[in-house]
Amino acid sequence: MKRIIALLLIALGIFSSCKRQLEVPPKGVLSPDQVANPENIDKFVIAAYSPLGNGDINVSFSLWQYGDVRSDDAYKGGRDEGDGQEFHFMETFYNMRPDFWPIDGLWYRIYVAVSRTNIALSYLNKIDEKAYPLKKARQGEVRFLRGYYYFLLKELYYRVPYIDETVPQDNYATISNTALSSDALWEKIAGDFQFAVDNLPVKQAEVGRPSQAAAYGFLAKTRLFQAYTQDDKYNVTGIDKGKMQAALDAADKALNSSFHLEQDFANNFLPGNFQNGPEAMFSIQFSHDDGTLYGRLNYGDALSVPQGLGCCDFHKPSQNFVNAFRTDNNGLPLLDNFNERNVDLANDNVDPRLDHTVAIPEHNWKYETKHVFKKSWSRNPGVYGYYASMKENVSPDCDCFVQTPPFFPNSKNKILLRYADVLLMKAEALIELGRQDEALPLINQVRTRAAQSTNLLNDANGSPQAKYNVGTYRPGVNITWTQDIARKALRFERRLELGQEAQRFFDLVRWGVAAEKLNAYFQVEKSRVPFLNNANFTKNKNEYLPIPQNQINFSRGVYQQNIGY
Amino acid sequence: MRRLLTSILLLCTLGAVAQQRTVSGTVRQKETGLPLAGATVKSSLQTIATDSLGRFQVLTKTGEHLQVTYVGMIPATAKVPATGTMAFVLTPSSTDLTQIVVTGYQSQRKADLTGAVSVVDVGELKKQAVANPIKALQGEVAGVFISSNGSPSAPATIRIRGIGTLNDNDPLFIIDGVPTKAGMHELNPNDIESMQVLKDASAASIYGSRAANGVIIITTKQGKAGRVQVSANAYTATQFYTTSPQMLNAGGYGQAYWQAAVNSGRDPNVNNIAYRFQWHADNSGKPMLDKILLPAYLDAAHTMHASNTDWFDAISKQGLIQAYDISISNGTEKGNYLFSAGYFDNQGVVKTTGFNRLSARMNASYKLIDGRLTIGENFTINRTREVIDPGVLNLALQALPIVPVHTVDGIGWGGPVGGMNDRQNPVRLLEDNKQNNYHYLRVFGNVYANLNIMKGLDLRTSVGLDYGNYVQSNFQKKYRSGYLVNDMNKLTMTYSNTSKITWSNTINYNRSFGAHLVNAVAGTEFYRQNDMSFYASRQNFAIQDPDYTYLDAGTGNKDNGGGAAANALMSYFGKLNYTYDNRYLASFTIRRDGSSRFGSNNRYGTFPAFSLGWRISQESFFRQLLNPSVISDLKLRFGWGKTGNQEINNVAAYSLYVTDYAGGNPLWGPTNGTAYDITGAHTGTLPSGYRITQRGNDNLQWEASTMSNYGIDFGLLNQRLTGSIEYYIKHTSDILVFPPYLAVLGEGGGQYVNGASMENKGWELTLSYHGKWRQLNFQMTGNISGYRNRITSLPASVVNNYGGNGLNDNILGRPINSFYGYVADGLFRTQKELDNSPAQQGKGLGRIRYKDLNGDGVIDNKDRTWIGSPHPDFIYGYNLTLQYKNIDLSLFLQGVHGTDIINQVKYNSDFWSVSETGSNKGSRLLNAWTPQNPNSTIPALTATDNNFESRFSTYYIEKGTYLKLRNVQIGYSLPASVLSRMKMQRLRVYIGGDNPLLLLKSKSFTGLDPESPGYGYPNPVVVTGGVNITL
């Protein structure tokens, strides 16, 4: 009896020494002290890369919805207008609202990427270079990435809150999207790429990391955008010659590297050993059978797969875009009247890049005669026609083509900066600086390569699938090479060369011609596809997306909405 | 009063022929049929007690009335028959003042309670054929709101006295002294002896940090002294899905498609969903649909007939419920035991879904050292198995009627072709999911020792265990369903276990000194929970047989993952109850809790409470003023107390990094992966990094509620009519919030903070009446309650995150979860209305007109306001029990009034293009607005949502008011004479049903079941037949 009482009292007493029982450390996670050391630094750098491949069908870092569908190059596609309806409204610029969730989702996801670069940099900055000899190079990589992420934000949303690793987290909410002027924001982005240029090696052992040339390429791109001065209503008011020269210089450095054009245009868009080729200056590295659920696949472009091969037949080249590939007897594009009638693929001359870029009924799918693209592969041709975008797609037989119904993504790399793009940026800078004659060989270099790129375009009988004819500009022979014509030719060339690579809309805004070009496009195109009936681009508004309504609300008025919304 | 009546009656009837004789009989309890030992049987000549078998012999006068009373039972009277024996069946009373109520680490007489404690009529709960007794609690107790659906495991959400926090609002369960928050559907309802709901803080605060949402105390059955008792119950029920949405059939879908196209100026024949339309415009230009042409086959290979599938029909079936349980108990002076076993099986109304439970319980106690030491245990072990609905209810709504369930061979699956939506065939999903069940093994209970040191002083120690072992297998089969194809099968096995240990030690003192009654308890409690889980998967199985598909049998990729969590609580508590002369009651409680979940700066919280009561009816002046037969009991109560809530993530206080290799399922949205193929290898293991998941907060602390409770308990007409009225004010402060945050903070931007406050003010009324008319005994219990909720403060940084315009209009001062949106003001019906309306992009005839609330002439997001609140005005329940001879009948009605609900189905039933245009729609669309149908309230069909009608507006908000007949049951008990021949004590058969009738719903509600306006598992109508046997 007494013993029992004693036991019970002991039991009660035990608890006085039980305070440490409340120290229950978290399981399977790490505290900041545990991770911030030299062994882990590289992992923060990797984590800053991974957002490149973390997109999904609605938040696509390839920006096909924003760069192509909003331009004259592509229709949204899919089941009908109501399928991904926000993108239908973005395509027609009708009913554009700041509360569209994809706009908020994209904003958030890019800032997640930015925050990973800032976390990595805050640890990198603190570390001793002796303990971590790669410090400078890794800082260069991460600032390259941050520059890239802010570049996306800038071209999409115009003015965004700029936060780098020096800003304490408690101050984030006080930083407005209008704290920096548009130009100051370009300077910040250029600053990151400049740092990358100064610190990145000429060649990287691991292909996923950017080289110095890639940083030069993006620096050129940043300066090029910056050189077209905009007023606060997005009207292009002129050319900043200094910035244009800076773009030219950077492009020169980028081109003066081990990178060069592929022999065949096709190689840029093929999987396997063609990836990370000589023209791919910076790519998103996708992978399959890598221990993740389905693989780190390109979900951002997964909707582009035609219905005949999977789902969901989005990203459909426009008729206007296809017509742009018609060439005259000299193999030159019809700069002014290409859209007067639809191209007749049986009889007209066309630029072979058409068959690399656009899937056309009864032509080969991804260069394979055993997979002929059929009309029946299109999901709703009555609305969106019979073309499909091909660059991001792969052969259904490729082991990189992964079925994860209802989506069918692939693990082929996505090129974010192509040597040809830099060539044309350099040409553009030269033309705007009045040195169009120096631009001519650059444009012709791209066209010559296009002319060579017909080897994979034969049908099952070995004959070409269309009348391919692409020639170079020869002043005095087939063209009068003035600055105006050179500008027109350059802009047309960018469309042909970089079509369906989500460049077009941003190019049009850079040049200050978005309203004019797109409204003219709608005028004709809506007679071909009635879903464009309501389409109308509002100048001084639709050049940029609205700042997401959620972010304005969460910021409690610190953020200012873009004009017009 | 009653005695007076009886006397008068006796006088009248007896008169001349007063004749003495001895009558014998039995007294039993109604619910269990068990004999009641020690019941008091009173005649005019003699008062005796029943023996251990409930038998009695008493001297009476012929024609007089015998009265039988028993603690906790409603007294019964019956006329002494001329011959034969008498059988009394007593009904437990939930209002009896002498009833003993468990209130946490101790028990009290109901009459002495000063807090808001409701005693649940457990017998009523058990009448419903549901796996979870908590679901059946709906409408039974004032102030307790249950929401649920018809899923076979009967998951239920419980809200006691409204929503008190932005976090976990679930109450704490204390089962035989062991706390748990886990699912009640895993326990056998038939093991429940009693259930109490502690609603206010003064009652609940003894449970400190987990009591803010109220506490439900459950005591399981114990063996009772007497002889061996065997009781068995069985029922079987069949259930039907009666509330499936009215969808378009194949022709109707075509008609709606055509209408949407012509309304939008499109050629309806430009489609890739196999429909062709013959149509023309009549003389007035009105488009007329002549004929819909459908192909014989949907696909080129001719495997799918164009069909007319009713997908809700295709996924549902008549469900079957079976339940059996048996218990054996015995008790002696040396101890008692009870053993029970139960089986419950519910094959739901959605095909292949089902839940079953096998349970066993052993409760035993042994008295040692002359009865001073009691050692006992209460343990139950349960195995539940469930196949859950894989999400077909929304899919059944979306699937096109033209798609067949199967291909022409009757084996393959129908599915979308061409331009149809990319949704799965719901029947295929169900069929391919039927092997994907989980097994959950749960062991729950405690062992205890109680030592009686001296009279009134007890030491008790108890170790409680709640252990769960969960195994789930998910095999994803290969399939081909239209263009949806999966060529790779995959098995994922998931395992997790949870162990929760509670060790409590208490010292109890219970003595009376003259008119003073003292009841005190002090103790400590330690709680620790450990969770662990992992999964493993494998791809590529040659054979898809469930007997073959184990991880070793696959040949493809492997994947696995897992994690763990833990938390601990350390508590010290004390409670003192004091009663003077049955008149003045007081109670004081204090508890101090420490939790591992909180920041090192604020780990401990203290939770005090007190309550006072005054039984005015015991005062002599009151007795003189009022006859007890008018007001037999009257008690005033006041309580105040503070309780806590610690139900947040275990690691909420920390800044954390994780490695997140894959980062989630890319089909469900962007992933958070930290891996990247930096070397360009394109396959194999990738380098991977860290990502931050949240920001830490060392100052994180308890969320605290204080509640004041005012109560009146009363009994009228000699306790024939009893009831209570409660009023409370509950204020919750330091609510733990994990607010949405600015995107620039990135993925680790979230942080738990203490910041919000809210208030609930509410009232409750419970009334119970029992009476008798001739041979008809009846009992009525009704309750009604309501509350008003408002958010009183929010941190400035998150004030805009719960609705509002982001600037000056926010949720402060409004009920939590209030709806914010546009006001839909009917449709534009004339050109004039259109011309005179504010600018509204996309407006047109037959389109929704929105109100320009700020009067600036433009409809935009500044024209939103607060358009509804999901809180009911009041909820109520009404229970009627009738007993006539051997027949009993009960009805249970339950209702909710004045709640605003979002009718999710309307997005599909009233619009073509607001949700997925490629999906099937409700048949209401056939009555949509057209110039020829100008009075319709359903907007015209359009191909795209140009008028932005998907905006959240009053169009989607309807009143969720309803009154349902929840349960009806009629039973027949065999008479004692027959029973004794069969050597039985009781045999009752019954039939009944759950949810047979929706008696009332709001006119504005356009759906079928206001209780589940979304796509939840339907609440079926259940028809039950059963038998109760006691040997």
What is the pLDDT, as a whole number, of residue A5? 56
Q: Residue B685 and residue A290: Cβ atoms within 8 Å? A: yes
pLDDT the model gives residue B650:
81
Any B CB within 8 A of A46 CB: yes
pLDDT at residue B115 is higher than 90: no
Mean pLDDT of chain B: 88
Asked if B380 and A340 touch (Cβ cutoff 8 Å), the reply is: no
pLDDT(B849) > 90: yes
Q: Cα(B492)–Cα(B496) distance, rounded to whole angstroms?
A: 13
Asked if the Cβ–Cβ distance from A27 to B566 is below 8 Å, we say yes
**A135-157 helix and A38-49 helix, angle to the nearest 10 degrees:** 30
Handedness of CA A197, A198, A202, A206 (dihedral sign): negative
Backbone angles phi, psi at B761, to 5 degrees: -120, 130
Question: At what angle are helices A212-227 and A182-199 packed, to 10 degrees?
Answer: 160
The token pair that represents B263 in the structure block: 């309304």
pLDDT for the residue numbered A12: 53
Q: What is the ipTM of this complex?
A: 0.93
Collapsing DSSP to helix, strand or coil, B92 comes out as strand
Tell me, yes or no, if A179 comes closer than 8 A to chain B by beta carbon: no
pLDDT digits (tens, 9 = 90+) for A249-270: 999 999 999 999 999 999 999 9
Mutate to test the interface with A, among B676, B915, B919 (most CBs of A within 10 A): B676
- Give the integer Cα–Cα distance in Å for B158 and B143: 10
Contact (CB, 8 A) for B569 and B593: yes
Q: Is there a contact between A43 and B651 if contact means CB atoms under 8 Å apart? A: no
**What's the gap in Å between the CA of A266 and the closest CA on chain B?**
20
Q: What is the pLDDT of residue B938?
A: 95
- Is the confidence at residue B31, as pLDDT, over 70? no
- The whole-number average pLDDT for the span B940-969 is 92
> What tokens does B480 get?
């081909």
pLDDT at B542 over 80: yes
Task: Inspect the interface and report whether the beta carbons of B943 and A80 lie closer than 8 Å.
Answer: yes
Residue B795 — very low, low, confident or very high, per pLDDT cuts 50/70/90? confident
Q: Does B689 reach chain A within 8 Å, measured CB to CB?
A: yes
Report how far residue B337's alpha carbon sits from residue B228's, in angstroms, rounded to the nearest whole number: 10
Which tokens hold the place of B18?
A: 């007063």
User: What is the pLDDT averaged over residues B73-81?
Assistant: 78
Q: How far apart are CA A266 and CA A354, in angstroms?
A: 11
What are B449-498's pLDDT values in tens digits?
A: 999 998 889 999 999 999 999 999 999 999 999 988 888 899 999 999 99
Residues in A touching B670 (Cβ below 8 Å): 54-56, 59, 105, 109
Contact of B944 with chain A, judged by CB distance below 8 Å, is answered with yes
From chain A residues 131-170, the ones with a CB under 8 A of any chain B CB are 161, 163, 169
Task: Find the mean pLDDT for residues B811-837.
Answer: 93
Touching B: A residues 7-36, CB under 8 Å: 8, 11-12, 15, 18-19, 21-24, 26-32, 34-35
Name the residue of chain A whose CA is nearest to B503's CA: A11
Task: Report the residue from A290, A534, A551 with minimal CB separation from B683.
Answer: A290
Residue B63 — pLDDT band, cuts 50, 70, 90? confident
Q: Tokens for B770, please give them.
A: 């029992």
B885 C-beta neighbours (distance < 10 Å), count = 11
Tokens of A404: 């994860």
Where are the strands (E) in B455-583, listed by range? 457-476, 479-481, 484-486, 490-513, 516-539, 558-580
Per DSSP, B432 falls in state H
- Considering only CB atoms, A554 lies closest to which of B684, B695, B742, namely B742
Residues B924 and B829 sit within 8 Å (Cβ to Cβ): no
**Distance from first CA to last CA of chain A, Å, rounded?**
82
CA distance to B130, B184, B314, B497, B498, per residue, from B382 (Å): 16, 11, 33, 14, 14
**Nearest CB neighbour to A379, from listed B272, B528, B680:** B272
Residue B529 scores a pLDDT above 60: yes
Instruction: Check residues B529 and B36 and name the one with the higher pLDDT.
Output: B529
User: Side chain identity at B969, as an amino acid letter?
Assistant: Q
How far is the C-alpha of B485 from the C-alpha of A310, rounded, in Å? 8
| Six-digit token string for B303 | 């495997």
Q: For residue B9, what pLDDT is reported?
A: 39
The answer to whether B564 faces chain A, any CB pair under 8 Å, is yes
**Contact (CB, 8 A) for A254 and A422:** yes
Closest residue to A163, CB basis, from B596, B744, B799: B744
B332 or A225, greater pLDDT = A225
Residue B2 has pLDDT above 70, yes or no: no
Asked if B573 contacts B608 with a C-beta cutoff of 8 angstroms, the reply is no
pLDDT value, residue A11: 52
Determine the residue among A52, A79, A171, A275 to mutate to test chain B binding: the one whose Cβ has the most chain B Cβ atoms within 10 Å: A79
CA distance B7 to chain A (A): 56
Query: Nearest CB to A35: which of B270, B690, B799?
Result: B690
Which positions in chain A touch B945 (Cβ < 8 Å)? 82, 85, 95
Residues B617-645, mean pLDDT to the nearest whole number: 86
What share of chain B has pLDDT > 70, as a percent?
Answer: 96
- Strand duo A349-350 + A467-468: pairing: parallel
User: Is the CB of B654 less than 8 angstroms away from the CB of A207?
Assistant: no
Which chain B positions have a beta carbon within 8 Å of A36's beta carbon?
none
Interior angle at CA A424, CA A421 and CA A429, nearest 5 = 125
- Cis (ω within 30 of 0) for the bond into A406? yes
Q: Is A459 helix (H, G, I), strand (E, B) or coil?
A: coil
CA B534/CA B46 separation, integer angstroms: 70
- Average the pLDDT over B271-275 and give the result: 84
Question: For residue A60, which of A297, A322, A396 has the smallest C-alpha distance?
Answer: A297
Q: Which of residues 784-813 of B touch A (CB under 8 A)?
A: 796-797, 799-801, 804-807
CB B631 within 8 A of CB B716: yes
Give kind and range of the element (H or E) at residue A142.
helix A135-157
Are the C-beta atoms of residues B193 and B345 closer than 8 Å to each other?
A: no
A365 touches chain B (CB under 8 A): no
Q: Does the structure show a pLDDT above 50 at B16?
A: no
Interface check for B608 against chain A (CB to CB < 8 A): the answer is: no
List the single residue in B with minimal CA-CA distance to A290.
B684
Reply yes or no on whether the pLDDT at B11 is more than 60: no
Spell out the per-residue pLDDT of chain A, length 565, in tens: 555 555 555 555 544 445 577 778 777 777 777 777 778 889 999 999 999 999 999 999 899 999 999 999 999 999 888 888 899 999 999 888 898 999 999 999 999 999 999 999 999 998 889 989 999 999 999 999 999 999 999 999 999 999 999 999 889 989 999 999 999 999 999 999 999 999 999 999 999 999 999 999 999 999 999 999 999 999 999 999 999 999 999 999 999 999 999 999 999 999 999 999 999 999 999 999 998 889 999 999 999 999 889 889 999 999 999 999 999 999 999 999 999 999 999 999 999 999 999 999 999 999 999 999 999 899 888 889 999 999 999 999 999 999 888 899 999 999 999 999 999 999 999 999 999 999 999 999 999 999 999 999 999 999 999 999 999 999 999 999 999 999 999 999 999 999 999 999 999 999 999 999 999 999 999 999 989 988 999 999 999 999 999 899 888 889 999 999 9
Q: Which of B461, B663, B691 sits opposite A11 (nearest CB)?
A: B461
Which pLDDT score, from 0 to 100, does residue A556 have?
Answer: 83
Give contacts of B 412-441 with A, CB under 8 A.
Answer: 418-422
Which residue's entry shows tokens 């407006």?
B843
